[in-house]
Amino acid sequence: MTDRPTSPGRSRRKFTVDALFEDTRPQARGVTDLRDAKEIALDRIVPDPDQPRRSFDQDRLDELAASIRAEGVLQPIVVRYDEAGDRYVLVHGERRWRASALAGQQAIPALVRDVPAERRLLQQLMENVVRDDLNAIDRANALRTLRAQLGDPPWETVAEAVGIKRSRIFQLLGTGKLSPEAQASIQQGELSEKQSRLLQGLSPARQEALRQWLVTDQPAAALATRVARAFRDHPLADDASVDEATAALATLRDLALVSDPDRQRSQSIALLAAIARARSGAKGDRASLKRLSSLVGTKAFDPQRFAQETGAISRGLAELALAPDRRDTAVDEQLRALHRAIGALLGDEPGA
């Protein structure tokens, strides 16, 4: 048997087995199938015990589960194969895995990666820390673990590895000095990391009093900052109880808030009394006036604004002079406080 001759100038076309299965559709142009893309049964996947995230918001998990029921998992998770346990261990995407289980899914799309141990935590940190998707307590713990895995280098090296400023790292690490109650509030989402900075450096009793107020009332940031600063310097015994600290904080809070006439009156009388006491020149009295001024948001002296506000006071006094029957003990108390403060500023405090 002889080979069939070929036409001159024509070469025989060669085929491979792979070519028989090649996708020749237009949409396949420029597309390469991933060999490590899988759909894996949920019960074959386990969480990474070294995962930085330690808490998951149930409401957000429920929302993600509802989305998965409607649209499926839009982004594959990343896993690694653990040969010893014959299982897949999560590298990225634990929220999607948990939400898929809540959604009643049996399997989940996944990419299988062989990630070295020293890179896994770094990648998990990058996913969560850079996206600000991890609470401050868990982030700080993860950074400490990462530093240990890297051989305890300076924090500057850790900051460079995860792309975070050194100052930001120390802000996160500061949360580790907070009370267990404050740390739990951060992990549960009741207290933001920024709010928690107001607690740092306070005694346990002051910390707990301030934490309770921040969690319960959720005051505006500017008000919380003013009250916290005044509370930090407020005279209070070192062994004061939480109840005593809470009472002191309530006093400062009420002075800072001017939402009704009674609180406005209390604030004015307290500030005028502090002005009168500061006449003595004693360091403590002047420091008290400074703290109270900061608490109520006093601005730097401005002659033009002073003239305007003095005009408002004079108009109020004229109204009172024309309607003496409206005068009561509360008005008299404010007049006497104003009288003493003006006398103190003039250097000749009048009598009560």
Tens digits of residue pLDDT in 302-345: 888 899 889 989 999 999 999 989 899 989 999 999 999 999 88
The residues, ordered by sequence, that sit 6+ positions from 111 with a Cβ below 8 Å of its Cβ are: 34, 36, 37, 38, 76, 77, 78, 79
Ranges 176-180, 236-240, 324-328: which has the least confidence: 236-240
Q: How far apart are CA 278 and CA 154, in angstroms?
A: 48
Into which CATH architecture does domain 117-177 fall?
Orthogonal Bundle (1.10)
Helices (H), the chain: 17-20, 58-71, 94-102, 117-129, 136-149, 155-162, 166-173, 180-187, 193-196, 204-217, 221-233, 242-256, 261-277, 283-296, 303-322, 329-346
What share of the chain in percent tops pLDDT 90? Answer: 35
- Domain 37-115: assigned CATH number: 3.90.1530.30
Does 208 qualify as catalytic in the annotation? no
pLDDT of 131: 55
Which residues have a Cβ under 8 Å from the Cβ of 290 and sit 6 or more positions away? none
49: confidence class by pLDDT, cuts 50, 70, 90: confident
Q: Kindly report the pTM of this predicted structure.
A: 0.59
User: Is 80 exceeded by the pLDDT of residue 265?
Assistant: yes
Four-residue CA torsion sign, 212, 213, 218, 220: negative
**What's the CA gap between 173 and 188, in Å, rounded?**
18
- Longest CA–CA span in the chain (Å) reads 135
Mean pLDDT of 147-171: 87
In this structure, the number of other CB atoms found within 10 A of the CB of residue 50 comes to: 14
Edge-to-edge order in the sheet of strand 87-92? 37-41, 107-112, 77-82, 87-92, 45-46
Catalytic residue among 63, 94, 160, 208: 94
User: In the numeric block, which tokens belong to residue 122?
Assistant: 């770094």
Domain boundaries of the chain, sorted by first residue: 37-115, 117-177, 261-346
* Residue 14 in this model has a pLDDT that exceeds 80: no
Give the residue with greater pLDDT, 54 vs 289: 289
CA atoms within 13 A on the CB side of 289: 15
